[in-house]
Amino acid sequence: MAYWLLKSEPVKYPWSQMVKDGRTHWDGIRNFQAANNLRAMKVGDRAFFYHSNEGKEIVGVVEIVRTAYPDPGDKDGKFVMVDVAPVKPVEKAVTLAEMKEMPELSGFSLLRQSRLSVCPVSDQEWGVICRKAGIEA
């Protein structure tokens, strides 16, 4: 299993809506590196659900339930989307400020490439963040 981080602006699509929907497609990605990360995802992979812009914190965990397929919103056919389903909320939101203070996350892609909307998360980073969030890795 691989781990990821997916960013969503809470005013556009908050964690509460993800839970209510029960499943959604993760579309609208127009950055080639982020799109390549979507293409690398496998069914069963897990991802942190991160509220960007407002809150700037990890608030939940989702599972990849469908691998990459064409994003119909992309007229050129270059970009893809995946489907995700909620797994669980975190016990304690983990803020961007907290992650920046943790030496064991110094190489974390969220901190190195802050504008990237779909980021890989290493096994070690996943464990550190899960412990901080009060959930099982």
Round the average pLDDT of the chain to a whole number and report it.
97
C-alpha 84/C-alpha 27 separation (Å) is 11
Specify the pLDDT at position 114: 87
- Max distance between CA atoms of the chain, in angstroms, equals 42
Identify the three-state secondary structure at position 66.
strand
Percent of the residues in the chain that have a pLDDT greater than 90, as a whole number: 98
pTM: 0.96
The CATH T-level fold of domain 3-133 is ph1033 like fold (3.10.590)
Nearest to 62 by CA among 110, 116, 122, 14: 14
Per-residue confidence at 135, pLDDT binned at 50, 70, 90?
Answer: very high
Summarize pLDDT for 42-89 with one digit per residue, the tens.
999 999 999 999 999 999 999 999 999 999 999 999 999 999 999 999
Specify the pLDDT at position 131: 98
Residue 117 has phi, psi (to 5 degrees) of -85, -15
Going from the C-alpha of 94 to that of each of 27, 90, 98, the distances in angstroms are: 24, 8, 7
Task: Work out the burial of residue 54: count CB atoms within 10 Å of its CB; fewer than 13 is exposed, 13-18 middle, 19 or more buried.
Answer: exposed
* Helices and strands of the chain, counted as H and E runs: 5, 6
Per-residue confidence at 15, pLDDT binned at 50, 70, 90?
Answer: very high
